[in-house]
Every structure is written in structure tokens, then in C-alpha cells.
């Protein structure tokens, strides 16, 4: 089953807030439902929200009353702005919106024809995502040795993309190749994507793992028990600075301090050459309630009236990144020089 | 109210597993109840468990049927071993047990007289702890500037000692002196001592704070929003390596990476000159259930049958420690040379 797919004239998503307790699929019929699902993290993971946004535009096109192609295009451009504001950090969302609009702009036809084209293009984005993930898996698996213990941050598996996974896709491919792996799963506070989603996926795949709290990663690195650190990214700047789920910086720093390589695994669409460095990447700050209460349990674990901060991402400076795995190959430093060679031509 | 105190012929403890939901005091009547309370972390914090263990020996002496001083002493030595095995990392527990036994060994008297002496010595340990904390507060507050934003790890306040606090005691003293402070409280997974206990204490004291998840500390350090990082310690080796609550290493590393000083605040009894470096400090690993379930809520947030690791402490190498605040002054590097000058003579 895909995480994001089109069925019976609507967009279907695995509800990631309900796992691992329940595997539930929600059906979305409108642009606004799609935007709300991205904002609430019913769907999450940079590539997955890109695909969801593409289908959201297809939903907007189908329900449009526009009488001309240009009227429809204006509506979809507004819809694209709505989608882009839901989660500002991951570039894949903006990338998917721009790709959808670019395709529609370069085509002529009736609103109905453009609506069909929008759905076909969204479907193509989703299908390509799966192929790209499979390619990254094969390329990245070459970096993984038999017997490796790997620390993995957040969720980058099938649930974070359309299918297969980025960093977790590399782990899955290495496992398929018969390499014996042990994964230390960062729980990834505050929303516990590691403890809930990555642990659930690894259990499905039969890959041995143990959950650790994020602050334990340094302990295992210092004890010499870890050979690789691996994560995805939500946006990579032109110099190789990596914006990814909060906690990535401290993890990559601890890896560096112990001489352990740290790899970011991303589709090339995650690389944003328009930003010179990571300081220019907008960092979303979410509600403090996600820190004050434990997700799912919904139980407050902090004093009444306590306040919290909740930056959802951080930027890991390029000096801490050993390599960036893309579907076009592994990019090594100096990233300023090498990254442009691995980005897909427009 | 003290965290650990003697009243109505028994040992009273604030139950730290119930805060911030409820402030409850438990009464302990036997050695075994005391050992269980330390193991379950009903009482926690290196100095607090030291004082609790001292009172535990006093309870053992009172209930003893020994007919001679030597028989009593043999019983108390066995009781001391029982207490020391409950939590191996913090040296204060072993230190308090040894101090109690040393005092009793050097005295002659009937078992009843020794029992009274044991209680008096435990009371003295508790009283001295409060005085030592107050002195550390004054010494450490000199390192804190008006307007500082400070990241604090775990709980090191009144709840971690008999009264006042170590690292949080420094913050309290600086606050009393009129310095305007803002505390970023590491939630401190897995048991959430920061989110539950430190937040609760800061709220009592009227010191402004916000809770962050441990993996966010690096973000705020990199954003230039933090001036100091401060924590306690469970044991400090002769070279200044600091064993403290899990996550301290990654926090101190991120502080160093951003040129922000990181201070450990401890009574001199936490310094263990018998161990050359931190690699020799035993690190307790607790039940994975503490990671798999959220404390208090008691709700599982991970897949059924998931496993977890749970080292309770880590060792921060001395190169990441800017200074060690003790009741005898601030120790600066080189710690191998300077630490012995600050340790109390036996």
C-alpha cells in the first residue's frame, strides 16, 4: 500500500497520527482538506507532502467552476500558495506545486482537459517518487556494510514518501541484499516519528531495531557501537547545509565528534540551489502543545500553564555531512562545487 | 519543605514520580523500603539519594536486633552494600554510606547508642547538603549575567538534593540577586525530569522558562539565543570527565560547537579522585520500558514487542566542560591538576 494514492476520485492517505496503534486511511475530497491534512501532519515527510500537494491541486482543478484555462490556472496558482504556506521548510512541497503549475501553464486545453492533465501529472510525480526512492536505495546501500549498527533519525520510510523511503529506503535495500543490520531508532521528540512510525515500519520489514531517546545517540556513538548515522532532509542549500527534523544537528555533531559518517538521503528535488546556505531556509515553529503533551496519549506531562518552544527543524552545517545520497549518485564535499552536478535539469 | 527528611520516626520523601500532577510525601520505615524507593526513582538526584541512603542506614540500625556493636556494624555494612547496588553511577550514594559507616566504626557504644548516632549523622549529612548547596549557589551565580538565557538539563533543584539545588540552585541564587534570567528547560527523556520537575520548581520560584525537547538545544545554541549551559553531575572523575544524566554529552558538545560555556555544579563529594577518567565510571542501564512508554501517562507509544535501550547516564569528556562549580570554588582546566585542590579532606 502506498502512503499517498488516488482511488475512487479522491486522495487517500495513511493517517500517520494513528500509527502504530491503528492503520487507518483517510479520504480527502478538496484542496482545503488536503491543506489541513498537511498542516496537522496527518501526512508528513518531505516527499509525501509534495505528492499530497500535487494531488491537492488535482482535487482543486476537478472541483473548479472555471470557464477558461486562464481562469483555472489563476485558481490553481492561488491554491498552490495555500498549500505552500502549510509547511514552509520542506522544499518538496513548493517543488511539486511549481512542477504542477509549470506543466499546466505549458499546455492549452479546456478546463476539463487541464483537470485531467493535473491528475495525470500528480500521478506521475507519485510514480516517479517510488522509482527515485528505489534508485537511492541501491546507490545508498553501497555505503552500508554487513553488520553495521546505524542510528536513524525521524521517519524516512515508506510513510515519509509515496513508497519505499529515503534514508530508511537505503536501510531496506541493504537488508534486502542480505546485509545484517541493527538500527538504533531515535524516538524523535516531540512527535515521536521514530518511536511510532520508523519502529512500526522496521517491525513490518523484519529488520532488527531498538528505540533510543534522541539524547542517547551520543552515548552509543562514544561507546563505539555505531558505524553509520543516516537521515533524510527537508531542504538542502547550495552549500550542502541540511535542514531536517529537529535534532539532526546534535546527532550529526556527535557523529563527527566520534569519527562516524553521517549521510543525508534525498531525492534531488530536495536540493534548493536558490539558497546559498542553510541560514536562509525558513524554519517552521509549531505549537508548544506538541512538547507539553505526549502525542497520542494526549496527556499533559508538564505543569499547568507551562510554555514550550517547538522548532520543527534545524540546520546541520555542511561540515558535519559526510555525503548526500541522491537518485543521481552520492554527492561528497565540497558541496558548493558538487551539488549542482546532481540536481535534475529543469 | 525538604525533599528528604526525618519525621515521626521515619524517613519522608517527596514522591518525584507523581509531580507535577500531585505533591505527595511517602513514609519509609525500613532499609528495604528505602532501597526500593531509590531504585524506582521515587527519590532521585545524586545528593538526594545520598541523604536518603544515610537515613536508610539509620532505619536499619533502629530496627536491628544486634546484641553488640560489632554485630550491628556487620549488619550495616551489608545494608550499605544493598543500598550501593540500587543506583551504581552517582558516587554520592556510596559516599554517604561510607561516611555513615566510617563514623560508626570510629565510635564505641551499645547498639542503641550507635543507632542514635547513625540517625544524628544522617541528619548532619542532610543539613550539610543544604549549606553546601547555598554556598554553590553564591559561587556559581557569579558566572551568570543579568539577561542570560540558560539551557538546563535534567532536574538539579530542591528535588534533586535535600534543599535548594546544585545547577538549579545557582539559577535560584542569581534570580534572588535580581538577575533577569530565561531558562530553556530540556525535557530530559525518558523520565522527563526537566519537563516535570524542573518546570514545576521554576514555576514555584517565578523564574521565566520554556520547555524544549532535548534535541532542540542545538537549534537554540546555533541561533545565538543561549549564553550559558548548566547541569549537575552524578560523578566526576579525577580528570574532570562528567558522568551525568543521559544527554549531557550531546548538550555540552553543542555548547562547545557554538562557543557557549557549559558548567557542571556539584558538591565536592561528587568528585571521585579514585577514578582516573570517565570511562571507568559504571553507567546504569535501566529498563527499556521507560523509553517505550511515557512516564505518568503510562501509555505505550511504540509498537507492541518493540525493544528499547535505556542508558541512564553518559560521560561528557573534560574538553567540553568549561568549569566545575563546587562549594569550595570554581574549578577550571586543567582538571587533572586542579580538581584535587577542591576536594574535601577525608
Tell me the pLDDT tens digit for each residue of A145-164: 999 999 999 999 999 999 99
Q: What is the pLDDT of residue A345?
A: 74
Q: What is the pLDDT of residue A299?
A: 65
Q: What is the pLDDT of residue A281?
A: 96
**What CATH number is given for B140-343 in this structure?**
3.40.50.10470
Q: Which residue of A has its CA nearest to B305?
A: A203
Q: What is the mean pLDDT of residues B256-268?
A: 98
Task: Say if A296 is an interface residue toward chain B (CB within 8 Å).
Answer: yes
**What CATH number is given for A4-134 in this structure?**
1.20.120.420
Q: Which of A85, A106, A96 is nearest to A58 (CA)?
A: A96
Parallel/antiparallel/unpaired status of strands B182-186 and A329-331: unpaired
User: How far is Cα A249 from Cα A241, in angstroms, rounded to an integer?
Assistant: 10
Q: How close, in Å, is residue A277 to chain B by CA atoms?
A: 14
Residues 6+ apart with CB under 8 A from A218: A250, A254, A257, B247, B249, B250, B253, B314
Size of chain B in residues: 346
Q: What is the pLDDT of residue A210?
A: 96
Known catalytic membership, residue B234: yes
Tell me the pLDDT tens digit for each residue of B115-132: 999 999 999 999 999 999
Q: Which of B211, B299, B308 sits opposite A302 (nearest CB)?
A: B211
Enumerate residues 183 to 202 of chain A having a beta carbon within 8 A of any beta carbon in chain B: 184, 186-190, 192, 195-196, 199-200
Tell me the pLDDT tens digit for each residue of A208-246: 999 999 999 999 999 999 999 999 999 999 999 999 999
Q: What is the pLDDT of residue B299?
A: 65
Q: Confidence band (pLDDT; 50, 70, 90) for A188?
A: very high
Contact between B195 and A309 using a beta-carbon 8 Å cutoff: no
Mean pLDDT of chain B: 95
User: How far is Cα A116 from Cα A50, in angstroms, rounded to an integer?
Assistant: 19
Tell me the pLDDT tens digit for each residue of B233-258: 999 999 999 999 999 999 999 999 99
Q: Confidence band (pLDDT; 50, 70, 90) for A304?
A: confident
What are the chain B neighbours of A157 within 8 Å (beta carbons)? none
Q: What is the pLDDT of residue A102?
A: 97
Residue B246: Cβ-neighbour burial (10 angstroms; 0-12, 13-18, 19+)? buried
Q: Confidence band (pLDDT; 50, 70, 90) for B295?
A: low
Size of chain A in residues: 346
Residues A248, A152 contacting (CB under 8 angstroms): no
Tell me the pLDDT tens digit for each residue of B46-78: 999 999 999 999 999 999 999 999 999 999 999
Domain ranges of chain B: 4-134, 140-343
Tell me the pLDDT tens digit for each residue of A95-151: 999 999 999 999 999 999 999 999 999 999 999 999 999 999 999 999 999 999 999
Q: Which of B286, B296, B300, B266 is nearest to B192 (CA)?
A: B296
Q: What is the pLDDT of residue B293?
A: 81
Tell me the pLDDT tens digit for each residue of A26-44: 999 999 999 999 999 999 9
Query: Which uninterrupted H or E stretch holds B62?
Result: helix B46-62
Residues A315, B222 contacting (CB under 8 angstroms): yes
Q: What is the dihedral of CA A69, A75, A81, A84, to 10 degrees?
A: -70
Amino acid at each position: 500500500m502506498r502512503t499517498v494514492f488516488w482511488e475512487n476520485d479522491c486522495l487517500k492517505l495513511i493517517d500517520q497520527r494513528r500509527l502504530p496503534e491503528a492503520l487507518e486511511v483517510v479520504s480527502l475530497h478538496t484542496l482545503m482538506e488536503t491543506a489541513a491534512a498537511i498542516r496537522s501532519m496527518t501526512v508528513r515527510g518531505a516527499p509525501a507532502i509534495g505528492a499530497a500537494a500535487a494531488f491537492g491541486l488535482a482535487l482543486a482543478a476537478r472541483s473548479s467552476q472555471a470557464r477558461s484555462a486562464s481562469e483555472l490556472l489563476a485558481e490553481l496558482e492561488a491554491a498552490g500558495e495555500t498549500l505552500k504556506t502549510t509547511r514552509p521548510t520542506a522544499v518538496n512541497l513548493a517543488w511539486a506545486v511549481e512542477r504542477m503549475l509549470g506543466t499546466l501553464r505549458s499546455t492549452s486545453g479546456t478546463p476539463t482537459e487541464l483537470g485531467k492533465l493535473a491528475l495525470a501529472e500528480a500521478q506521475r510525480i507519485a510514480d516517479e517518487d517510488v522509482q527515485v526512492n528505489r534508485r537511492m536505495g541501491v546507490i545508498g546501500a553501497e555505503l552500508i556494510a554487513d553488520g553495521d549498527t546505524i542510528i536513524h533519525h525521524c521517519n524516512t520510510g515508506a510513510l515519509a514518501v509515496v513508497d519505499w523511503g529515503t534514508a530508511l529506503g537505503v536501510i531496506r535495500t541493504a537488508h534486502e541484499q542480505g546485509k545484517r543490520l541493527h538500527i538504533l531508532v531515535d524516538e524523535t521528540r516531540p512527535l515521536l516519528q521514530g518511536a511510532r512510525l520508523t519502529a512500526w515500519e522496521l517491525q513490518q520489514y523484519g529488520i532488527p531495531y531498538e528505540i533510543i531517546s534522541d539524547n542517547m545517540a551520543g552515548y552509543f556513538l562514544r561507546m563505539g557501537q555505531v558505524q553509520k548515522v543516516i537521515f533524510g532532509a527537508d531542504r538542502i542549500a547550495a552549500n550542502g547545509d541540511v535542514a531536517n527534523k529537529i535534532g539532526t544537528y546534535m546527532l550529526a555533531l556527535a557523529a563527527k565528534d566520534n569519527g562516524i559518517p553521517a549521510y543525508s538521503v534525498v531525492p534531488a528535488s530536495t536540493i534548493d540551489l536558490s539558497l546559498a546556505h542553510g541560514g536562509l531556509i525558513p524554519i517552521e515553529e509549531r505549537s508548544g502543545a506538541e512538547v507539553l503533551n505526549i502525542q497520542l496519549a494526549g496527556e499533559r506531562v508538564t505543569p499547568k500553564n507551562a510554555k514550550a518552544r517547538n522548532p520543527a527543524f534545524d540546520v546541520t552545517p555542511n561540515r558535519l555531512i559526510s555525503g548526500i545520497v541522491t537518485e543521481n549518485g552520492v554527492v561528497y564535499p565540497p558541496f558548493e562545487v558538487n551539488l549542482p552536478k546532481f540536481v535534475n535539469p529543469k
